[in-house]
Structure 1
Amino acid sequence: MTSRDRILARIRRAVPPPAPDTRPGPGPCPGPDPGAGIPRDYLRVHGTRTPHERVDLLAANLTEYRAKVHRTDEDGLPPLLTRLLAERGSRTVLVPPGLPPYWLSAAGRTRVHDRRAATAQELDRVDSVVTGCALAVAETGTIVLDGARDQGRRRITLIPDHHVCVIRVPDQVVDSVPQALDRLDPARTLTWISGPSATSDIELDRVEGVHGPRTLEVVLLGAQ
């Protein structure tokens, strides 16, 4: 028996056969629920945290992934974004259609609005992109984008080399991936980001900016 035969045999044993069609009239019989009978006895969260501890854990894990983490409140956000773009030397900043206007009210940079007709080459010439997020996962240091209007299409956060992502804390922070899945819409396009884009070769030489931004800056927006 080949490896392929063994794998297929295990699949057949795991998937129950469809129930016989006892309904009158034509039409296919609905198959079994693929999720039925799957044990879900894993821990949904590892430990108990206050909202403040949850945000601190997120910040620590983001830093571990080499993201740059900043904290500010509503009044401090526009000058902070202005400073981050200036330190980067950004002359152009890509703006999703639903980004709150006051976020970049003091930026003083040329705003590039996302257009469906924009090519990858045009997006690559943009210096920075600023977005919101759907939520963030503290235990894994992961940011999730779902294509909402304050985040824009997936491509605008994968092509520019510098991504600044604003997370409203503590409302947009959950402890674990299972909790995140409960709050996310599976019908939306989801992008899960854990630090800057990076890869390592067989010698473990790390290269950043391979299939996404080389630099990820995260702003934790909440009461100071």
Structure 2
Amino acid sequence: MQFKAVIVDDEQPICDEIEYLLKKHPNITVEKKFNHCFDALAYITENKPDVLFLDIKMPGISGLDMAKKLSALSKPPLIVFITAFQEHALEAFNTPAIGYITKPVTEEKLTSIIQKIRNLLARDHPKQPHQSNKICVIDNGKILPLNKQDIILASVSERDVYIRTIHQQYTCNLSFKEIETILSDENFLRVHRQYIVNLDDIVEIIPWFHGSFVLRMEGNQQENIPVSRTKVKLLKQLMGLK
């Protein structure tokens, strides 16, 4: 299920940082960023995003005033306040906000609130048809449905997407983002912008430069799969490393 988000903060670098962190969550799409509440109000009223990340202290209309105006909509977005001042959080409880994040915004803070967003929005969206447990790949012009659990690795190179099993590598017509979404409910992790790995098929975790790792996978132990530094902590948690 895809959720649409809008970010409003008068500091552009903060807007950009929140967008960067949200991109790590494949089912949330940032549709627009604003530095003023006036423009944001018009856009939200017309386009009806699901979620709004909103700075409280804004020039002109404050974030608190904007939230009160949005509450008059037939379907207002879920609002997450962003604030540099802990005391403003108390004011947020007089609005329809679902929570707040104090600056600086971090991946850990966002992940916690995003889980709450997912739970709230899931109640308002009808259930999707059951998704197949297979991904279709191309082999000599034929379309082969592969079981997800048979996939060891997915990778992308110059927009070409590849799916690897223990026996063979295939091409796939889906985008890498679509592959990530399909595998998000399984035992897979995007460890790098070019690689998604099956955690059950990791055979070696090798310490690398600057506190990172490279992985070696079942069926192809000669190739080093890099782990981005931003994913090291999560990988260690999932693999039970201290």
Larger helix fraction of residues? 2
Rg: which structure is higher?
Answer: 1
TM-score, normalization by structure 1: 0.29
Q: Give the TM-score normalised by the residue count of structure 2.
A: 0.27
